[in-house]
């Protein structure tokens, strides 16, 4: 009897589950390959809703894995601690027997940048950190100050959600750069107006050097009251690729070529936040589920191509919209070009909130659609300049 070959996917987030579903249901593979997904939790986490969980406007962002993952894929609950690319094995942090792979899809996502050393406060990058922040906000006395550090989309959405759900608190959003600089001028003005409208105090051009349980200290030494500090100032990659001796960029993201394969180990493909693809195909791509899902599907297509002895294709992925929730009653939707450059029109207010909610729901339905029919998910192509290179 011949042993079935195995494709292992590390990480069951937007990229990993999309890849696993495409592979597990592939008619071309016709069950010749087993698909195994490794993930620390038994549930799928809708990361894009974690600010809702933290603010208390949603009970949970967890979705039963069996409702999103293809039934032919096997979920192994655990955390990969090392890949041995020469032995084709994935090792676990709890010392259990390693898993052998013939092909590997690397998709362990990202984590929040750590707060400056010695600082207290909360993170908001995974289910556990969102659950820790929720009671901390609930326990604050009326008038207490919450500082959200980081004016990227996560910080903006978190500040707005907290301000709306906890009107008794003072919410301050501190950003080193101007907020929403990638939006059109009109959209940026609308963003600031909507944030102020729900009571968020905005501080732009300020860097927070540290925090303790009661204060934040700015880079010029100014000390401000802050009874709860939430650090959202950027994402970092998990250390798994680096710990495995694979080529990474300075942030620890796995380096892949334009087909999403590792140059040195072509049976390893990567997708999502944890991966850095060449600028020729990915300079416009930001860490987002709108990037992770196409990358996951494309990595799966290229694994299939390699198995079927076809040439893997270059990634081509672009954007259509940038959607920002500003609490449950307001949002902003900015149409963008494939390269993420803003178009002029934007939808704000309640209509913006409705569109954003629909987009969040569609994200799950695309993953579930791929579970029902492999190959059903399609995505906007990349910008022409990237395609021409």
Footprint on this chain of ligand FAD (rule: CB under 6 A): 10-16, 38-40, 45, 47-48, 50-51, 79-80, 107-110, 124-125, 153-154, 157, 238, 240, 272-274, 287-290, 292
Tell me whether residue 154 or residue 226 sits nearer to ligand FAD (CB atom).
Answer: 154
Q: How far is the CB of 293 from ligand FAD (least distance, A)?
A: 8
**What is the chain's Cα-based Rg?**
21
Q: How far is the CB of 35 from ligand FAD (least distance, A)?
A: 15
| Dist. CA 21–CA 24, nearest whole Å | 5
162 forms bridges with which residues in the sheet? none
The residue number with the shortest CB distance to ligand FAD is: 13
Tell me whether residue 184 or residue 232 sits nearer to ligand FAD (CB atom).
Answer: 232
Tell me whether residue 106 or residue 217 sits nearer to ligand FAD (CB atom).
Answer: 106
Q: How far is the CB of 49 from ligand FAD (least distance, A)?
A: 7
Sign of dihedral through CA atoms 112, 192, 320, 375? positive
Tell me whether residue 107 or residue 386 sits nearer to ligand FAD (CB atom).
Answer: 107
Burial class (CB in 10 A: 0-12, 13-18, 19+), 234: middle
Burial class (CB in 10 A: 0-12, 13-18, 19+), 33: buried
Q: Give one DSSP letter per residue of 327-379, joined into a string.
A: SSS-EEEEEB-TTS-B-S--B-HHHHHHHHHHHHHHHHHHHHHHHHSTT----
Q: Rounded to 5 degrees, what are φ and ψ at 128?
A: -65, -45
Tell me whether residue 224 or residue 321 sits nearer to ligand FAD (CB atom).
Answer: 321
- The CA-atom distances, in angstroms, between 201 and each of 125, 197, 216 are 23, 10, 15
Tell me whether residue 59 or residue 118 sits nearer to ligand FAD (CB atom).
Answer: 59
Q: How far is the CB of 223 from ligand FAD (least distance, A)?
A: 28
Taking alpha carbons only, the member of 214, 213, 207, 136 closest to residue 174 is: 207
270 contacts 292 by C-beta, under 8 angstroms: no
- For residue 261, the 8-state DSSP code is B
Tell me whether residue 29 or residue 124 sits nearer to ligand FAD (CB atom).
Answer: 124
Q: Which helix (H) or strand (E) holds 307?
A: helix 289-307
- For residue 389, the 8-state DSSP code is -
Q: How far is the CB of 239 from ligand FAD (least distance, A)?
A: 9
Tell me whether residue 76 or residue 140 sits nearer to ligand FAD (CB atom).
Answer: 76
Q: How far is the CB of 336 from ligand FAD (least distance, A)?
A: 12
14 contacts 108 by C-beta, under 8 angstroms: no
- For residue 288, the 8-state DSSP code is S
Q: How far is the CB of 57 from ligand FAD (least distance, A)?
A: 13
Q: How far is the CB of 45 from ligand FAD (least distance, A)?
A: 6
Q: How far is the CB of 124 from ligand FAD (least distance, A)?
A: 5
| Dist. CA 56–CA 242, nearest whole Å | 36
């Amino acid at each position: 009897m011949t042993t079935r070959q195995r494709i292992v996917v590390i990480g069951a987030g937007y990229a990993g589950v999309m890849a696993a579903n495409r592979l597990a249901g592939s008619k071309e593979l016709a069950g010749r390959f087993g698909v195994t997904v490794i993930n620390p939790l038994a549930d799928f986490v809708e990361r894009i809703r974690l600010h809702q969980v933290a603010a208390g406007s949603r009970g949970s962002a967890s979705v039963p894995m069996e409702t999103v993952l293809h039934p032919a894929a096997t979920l192994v609950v655990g955390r990969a601690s090392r890949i041995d690319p020469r032995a084709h094995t994935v090792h676990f942090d709890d010392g259990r027997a390693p898993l052998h792979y013939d092909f590997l899809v690397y998709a362990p996502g990202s984590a929040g940048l750590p707060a400056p050393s010695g600082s207290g406060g909360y993170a908001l990058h995974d289910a556990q950190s969102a659950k820790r922040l929720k009671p901390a906000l609930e326990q604050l006395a009326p008038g207490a100050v919450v500082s959200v550090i980081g004016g990227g989309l996560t910080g903006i959405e978190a500040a707005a959600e907290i301000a709306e759900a906890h009107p008794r608190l003072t919410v301050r959003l501190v950003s080193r750069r101007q907020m929403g600089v990638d939006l059109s001028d009109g959209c940026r003005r609308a963003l600031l107006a909507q944030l102020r409208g729900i009571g968020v105090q905005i501080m732009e051009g300020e860097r927070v050097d540290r925090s303790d349980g009661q204060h934040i200290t700015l880079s010029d030494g100014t000390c401000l009251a802050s009874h709860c500090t939430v650090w959202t100032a950027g994402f970092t990659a998990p250390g798994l690729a680096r710990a495995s001796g694979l080529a990474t960029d300075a942030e620890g993201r796995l380096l892949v070529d334009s087909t999403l394969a590792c140059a040195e180990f072509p049976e390893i493909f990567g997708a999502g936040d944890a991966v850095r693809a060449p600028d020729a195909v990915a300079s416009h791509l930001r860490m987002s589920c709108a990037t992770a899902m196409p990358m996951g599907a494309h990595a799966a297509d290229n694994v299939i191509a390699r198995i079927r002895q076809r040439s893997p294709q270059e990634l081509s992925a672009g954007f259509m919209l940038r959607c920002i929730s500003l609490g449950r009653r307001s949002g902003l939707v900015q149409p963008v070009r494939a390269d993420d450059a803003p178009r002029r029109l934007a939808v704000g207010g309640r209509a913006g909130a409705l569109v954003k909610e629909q987009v969040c729901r569609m994200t799950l339905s695309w993953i579930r659609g791929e579970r029902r029919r492999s190959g059903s998910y399609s995505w906007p192509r990349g910008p022409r300049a990237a395609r021409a290179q």
